[in-house]
Structure 1
């Protein structure tokens, strides 16, 4: 029997990395960011066909307006396909709620699991 793909939502308690000491991130804002990004998450077909699972951690740089400026892979998932998807996901999202303290960055885990 073939396993079905289940894209797991990003962890609601993402590890926050503040861009500068004056910028404070609220837990609510981090939750909003993770929910926004999770809404665009997909399971790459090639990774699913090969039975690949994993969690990648991605650092997302957010402008004061909420625009996603760029993303970088902090911790790879162990799958090239999943890592590519993890890096593409924030840009595909486009924007997130504006950060309360101005431009900042946040590191979020992105998980894929086959059931």
Structure 2
């Protein structure tokens, strides 16, 4: 029977704790990016008239300083108008806060346009 050495266990636990902390910081960073994107979006009048709503998933490449280096619509909102607005919102932002570890990363963020009944009017 193999015994776990206390030192190895403590180092392993510290490593797992560090990983969990990094993961939660990365999750918080993505949530912050989604929130910023949501605050920058507009609801185009043409989409309002057509009563279009939906959620687009946007794949982003972000450098260590938070600069958006590339993006694409990974999953359409179901509306060409709203998908173009998602791209315009990213152009307006241009840069997020730096990722927690300041390493370039690829992430997917969502941007949602509720239906007209939800009163998202700009």
Q: TM-score range by the shorter chain?
A: 0.7 to 0.9
Please identify the structure whose Cα radius of gyration is greater.
2
What are the superposed Cα offsets for residues 55-110 of structure 1, whole Å, 9 maximum, x if unpaired? 11111111111111121011011111011111222121111110123111211111
* Structure 2 unmatched runs, 5+: 1-21, 118-122
More strand by share: 1
TM-score, scaled relative to structure 2: 0.69
How big is the shift at 1:42?
Answer: 0.7
TM-score scaled to structure 1, two decimals? 0.73
Ranges of 4+ aligned residues in structure 1 off by more than 4 Å:
none
Kept after mapping to 2: 8 A contact 1:56/1:77: yes
Residue 14 (structure 1) aligns with: none
Alignment RMSD, CA only? 1.7
Query: What is the CA–CA distance in structure 2 between the aligned matches of 1:53 and 1:65, rounded to whole Å?
Result: 32
SS in structure 2 at match of 1:71: strand
Does the residue aligned with 1:77 lie in a helix, a strand or coil?
coil
**After the TM superposition, which residues 1-115 of structure 1 pair with which residues of structure 2 at under 5 Å, given as runs?**
26-101=26-101, 102-113=103-114, 114-115=116-117
- The unaligned stretches of length 5 or more in structure 1 are 1-22
Is the Cα contact below 8 Å between 1:60 and 1:90 reproduced in 2? no
Greater percentage in helix: 2
Greater RCO, CA 8 A, separation 6+: 1
